[in-house]
Structure 1
Amino acid sequence: MKSRRLRPAPVPALTALAALLAVAGCAPGDADVRVEPPPAPPAEVAKLCAALHGELPDRVAGLARSGTEPRSELTAAWGGPAIVLRCGIPKPAAMADPKQEGVHVNGVAWLLEELPDSAGGGFRFTTGMRLAYIQVYVDEAHAKDAGMLVGLSDAVARTVPEGVAAY
């Protein structure tokens, strides 16, 4: 995986939100966001995700945290569907591709994937070298804010130890 440091400066424009999400409301605060939790991870991963859930910031990229439906310590959202997190996902196949782009933010490595329009567009960031895989989907408008991953990276660094996830 190619790697680069992400600094608080604009990143390339991102398109829309990932197709995995079924949205119950479009505006922040209107309704909970439908976010399908990943399949039940092993107990040790679920424990790390619960710790992360409790440390996630109230605001990301200036957006307030939204509720998710179903309620789960494996999911979180900000600004309605603008930014969505899923913790405890299985290892993504893209992790094996050495040509994939990556960024480092506050000590946390993130795989960076631009999703095709046919898959709903947007960008997906996935942690690497942590004992749990965490994915963050970001819509076009908010991915331009390079600071978007700062608060999330801080929470990940505090709660999910470095290592290679077995799941």
Structure 2
Amino acid sequence: MSSHRPFGLPASAAAAVLLLAVAGCSSSDAKASVPVPRPPAAEAALCRALAKELPGTVAGLERSGTEPESELTAAWGDAAIVLRCGVPRPEKMNDPQAQGVDADGVNWLFEPREGDGPRFTTTYRRTYVEVTLDKRYAHDVGPLVGLAAAVKKAVPPSL
């Protein structure tokens, strides 16, 4: 995934990504171990609102539990997709060469992770929402599209 425009993905590429979305992986009863963020109270309230809007299925994966259980975290599949709300601003956002994508109207900072799938963090929102994807999604932002409506509804753009 290379983009020469920070925080942008051409519409044709976004459509291709949607067509390539991985589906059909089953979830287990195991809960993903997910560190819980500690945002300020106003951001935590946005995260609780987001928790109410999150879909039961993302990219064909059913929602699964997290350990510890928290309204600030969510997972789908066997932790193939993990969301944390209220995370600190990533240092990478200071990099003028940082890459990003737009998934259905939500901008995300893209960060590759060595030996794993990518990490994405929302930009231009009142709290940061982080989504980590496993290797299956190394070149697929389809899960972000599946989360976009919930993010747009619950986490307003920054002022």
Bin of the TM-score, shorter chain as denominator length:
0.7 to 0.9
Deviation at 1:143, TM superposition (A): 4.4
Mapped partners of 1:33, 1:96: distance in 2: 30
**Structure 2 Cα separation of the partners of residues 113 and 79 of structure 1:** 21
Alpha-carbon distance between aligned partners in 2 of 1:146 and 1:90, rounded to the nearest angstrom: 22
Q: Distance in 2 between matches of 1:44 and 1:98?
A: 29
Q: How many residues align?
A: 145
Residues 1:9 and 2:8 are matched in the alignment: no
Specify the SS of the correspondent of 1:131: coil
CA distance in 2, matches of 1:80, 1:30: 9
Residue 158 of structure 1 corresponds to 153
Show the counterpart of 2:123.
Answer: 128
Q: Which residue of 1 aligns with 2:27?
A: 28
Q: Which has the higher contact order (CA 8 A, sep 6+)?
A: 1
**Amino acid corresponding to residue 62 of structure 2 in structure 1:** A
Alpha carbon RMSD of aligned pairs, Å?
1.8
SS at structure 1 position matched to 2:130: strand
CA apart distance, 1:146: 3.5
Structure-2 separation of matches of 1:144 and 1:3: 16
Preserved CA contact (<8 Å) 1:9 1:147: no
1:7 deviation in Å?
0.7
Determine what percentage of the aligned residue pairs are the same residue.
Answer: 50
Query: How far 1:103 sits from its partner (Å)?
Result: 0.5
User: What 5-or-longer segments of structure 1 have no aligned partner?
Assistant: 12-26
C-alpha separation between the residues in 1 aligned to 2:85 and 2:141?
21
Deviation for aligned residue 1:80 = 1.6
2:71 match:
73
Structure with the bigger percentage of helix: 2
TM-score normalized by the length of structure 1: 0.80
State TM-score, norm by structure 2. 0.84
Q: Using the alignment, how far apart are the partners of 2:28 and 2:15 within structure 1?
A: 27
Matched residue of 1:152: which SS?
helix
Amino acid at match of 1:125: F
Q: Which residue of 1 aligns with 2:141?
A: 146
Contact 2:103 2:144 in 1 (8 A): yes
Q: Deviations over 1:55-112 (max 9, x none)?
A: 0011111000001110101100000210000000111101111101101112110001
Which AA in structure 2 matches 1:128? T
Q: Which region of structure 1 is more displaced relative to structure 2, 145-154 or 64-73?
A: 145-154
Alignment-derived partner of residue 22 in structure 2: none
Runs of 4+ in 1 over 3 A off after TM superposition: 142-146
> 1:82 and 1:94 mapped to 2: Cα distance?
23
